[in-house]
């Protein structure tokens, strides 16, 4: 049960109230921990990444502008901690395989992780947010539509647009790379 509204939690955390910080942490713990577990090897690593993410949330909560939900804002911060974790480990992880629902096409077989993150960050905001929520965090279009206050069809459109833009940007980058 949520005791305080999001705005009350934000204000309490800005005042550095441990009570409000604990409530915010507990409210979003399950979703953030689940997201971290989907991207890591073990629970200890997931917990460490998530806690680092929440430290960033508490440090930067005064910067929350209310554009989108508090949960989405926290997810972005925690996801960035996941990306940072793998950036540090990049000696062990050099490439990411991209797959699609269509028959196999080796045009986009492997790309450098840093390049993919850079391209995703350059997507239009709604395309990027919905791509991350659906493809990386595993939310359904119905869940996304509820969180973003859009229809499931609109969510599907943004995802399709994001994938199209990613394919175009990756293809352009591969052509430029092959010319070099």
9 with 86, same domain: the answer is: yes
Q: Are 33 and 46 in contact (CB under 8 A)?
A: yes
29 with 107, same domain: the answer is: no
Give the tens place of pLDDT for each residue, 6-44: 999 999 999 999 999 999 999 999 999 988 888 877 899
pLDDT of residue 102: 42
Q: Which pTM does this prediction carry?
A: 0.54
Q: Which domain, by its residues, includes 120?
A: 94-180
72 with 104, same domain: the answer is: no
10 with 83, same domain: the answer is: yes
Choose between 175 and 19: higher pLDDT.
19
Give the tens place of pLDDT for each residue, 128-153: 888 888 877 777 898 888 888 899 99
Q: What is the CATH number of the domain that holds 122?
A: 1.10.10.10
């Amino acid at each position: 049960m949520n005791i305080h509204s999001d705005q009350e939690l934000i204000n309490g955390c800005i005042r550095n109230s441990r009570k409000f910080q604990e409530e915010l942490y507990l409210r979003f713990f399950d979703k953030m921990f689940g997201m971290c577990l989907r991207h890591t090897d073990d629970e200890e690593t997931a917990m460490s990444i998530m806690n680092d993410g929440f430290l960033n949330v508490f440090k930067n909560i005064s910067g929350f502008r209310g554009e989108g939900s508090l949960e989405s804002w926290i997810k972005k911060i925690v996801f960035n901690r996941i990306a940072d974790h793998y950036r540090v480990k990049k000696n062990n992880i050099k490439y990411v395989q991209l797959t699609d629902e269509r028959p196999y096409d080796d045009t986009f077989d492997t790309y450098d992780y840093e390049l993919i993150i850079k391209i995703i960050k350059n997507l239009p905001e709604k395309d990027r947010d919905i791509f991350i929520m659906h493809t990386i965090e595993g939310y359904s279009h119905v869940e996304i539509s509820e969180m973003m206050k859009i229809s499931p069809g609109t969510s599907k459109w943004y995802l399709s647009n994001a994938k199209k833009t990613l394919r175009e940007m990756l293809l352009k980058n591969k052509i430029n790379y092959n010319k070099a």
